[in-house]
Amino acid sequence: MEDQNKNRSFSEMLKSEKPVLVDFSAEWCGPCKMMAPILKELKQMAGEGVTILKVDIDKNPAVASSFQIQSVPTLIVFRKGEVIWRQSGVVQARQLKAVIDQATVKA
């Protein structure tokens, strides 16, 4: 979802001060397709308070493996390079916003 960060490496982005939500998904995954409008809604709710990245596990198997992704969608929130929250399955925007808010408060 974030295009302006193409020059920064994935690992650099995860070390950000602001929360980074990574959506590990696959094109063939039905529930993953359900996440697209949810993530759009989250971006509208959270604005610049969160960076949202989408990682296709089929195109990035090494990244998926390094985070031990077993099922998709799997959502992971990072802050300063650390995993703050992780969950597999479809998660609603309000719940994600609460996780982002909590990650921001832990500053």
Active-site residue, 60 included: no
Task: Name residue, tokens 């490496």.
Answer: 9
E-strand ranges in the chain read 20-25, 51-56, 74-79, 82-88
Active-site residue, 29 included: yes
Buried/exposed code over 23-53 (b: 16+ C-beta within 10 A; e: otherwise): bbbbeebeebeebeebbeebbeebeeebbbb
Q: Which of 20, 26, 32, 91 is catalytic?
A: 32
Task: Name residue, tokens 């390079």.
Answer: 81
Q: Which of 1, 13, 29, 45 is catalytic?
A: 29
**Residue 19: helix, strand or coil by DSSP?**
coil
Catalytic residue positions? 29, 32
